[in-house]
Amino acid sequence: MPRHHDAEETSRTEVVMSTAWEQIEAAALSLARSGPIKDRLADAYRNHLALVNPEELPVALHAEFHACHDALTRERPLPGEDAVRATVRKMSNHDADEVACAVVRLFAALARATLVERVLAMPEAVSDGARSNGAIPSGAIPNGANGARAKPRKGVPDVISLYAAEA
């Protein structure tokens, strides 16, 4: 017999677990939207960067991630606000731009590190042979590399990922 959901059940928010990659990508996309930079920066931190488990990041990016975290949580909050709001409120627009750029650079570095990990995880015969005969363009990862299917990316993530791969 089909079960009918009541209003309370259907209005609950489902919690979706995300990887560090997905959260940092979402933070970069948050920063790419329109609106005041300070609002976008606070949104990127609260909704995405605060959810990142630094242990999921490559060790080489831990310091960069912690620097972004510290830059957004360094001020003591007033009653009724959190450290992020206090920090962003006290930032100049120039400082907010700099921190936003650091978040985007973090995403680019993560994209490069992920690309390197995937290439290194490829079987040697496939990676060396395919590159030498031109089957795999330099910097490209074949679909299904490392046993996983690549999700097609659209819009800004494509551009950021391509930029990161070229750098």
The tally of domains found in the chain comes to 1
Q: Is residue 1 part of a domain?
A: no
- pLDDT (0 to 100) of residue 116: 83
Q: What is the Cα Rg of the chain in Å?
A: 20
Domain contains 122: yes
Chain centre distance of CA 159: 14
SS3 assignment for the chain: CCCCCCHHHHHCCCCCCCCHHHHHHHHHHHHHCCCCHHHHHHHHHHHCHHHCCHHHCCHHHHHHHHHHHHHHHCCCCCCCCCHHHHHHHHCCHHHHHHHHHHHHHHHHHHHHHHHHHHHHHCCHHHHHHHHHCCCCCCCCCCCCHHHCCCCCCCCHHHHHHHHHHHC
Asked if residue 15 has pLDDT above 90, the reply is no
Residue 164 pLDDT > 70 = no
The percent of residues above 70 in pLDDT, for the chain, comes to 63
Q: What is the pLDDT of residues 102-119, one digit of tens each?
A: 999 999 999 999 888 888
Q: Is residue 28 part of a domain?
A: yes
pLDDT tens across 81-100, in order?
999 999 999 999 999 999 99
Q: Above 90 in pLDDT, residue 63?
A: yes
Give 42-59 pLDDT, tens digit per residue.
999 999 999 999 999 999
Position 71 in a domain: yes
Amino acid, res. 87? T
Establish if 37 belongs to a structural domain.
Answer: yes
Asked, for residue 44, whether it belongs to a domain, the answer is yes
Going 100 to 51 to 55 to 141, the CA torsion angle's sign is: negative
Tell me the pTM: 0.64
Q: Report the percentage of the chain scoring pLDDT > 90.
A: 56
Identify the band that residue 29 occupies on the pLDDT scale cut at 50, 70 and 90: very high
Span 105-134, average pLDDT = 74
Domain-located, residue 10: no
101 has pLDDT over 90: yes
Structure tokens at 105: 């650079």
Q: Give me the domain span that covers residue 155.
A: 17-136+147-166
Q: How far apart are CA 43 and CA 66, in angstroms?
A: 17
Tell me if 5 is assigned to some domain.
no
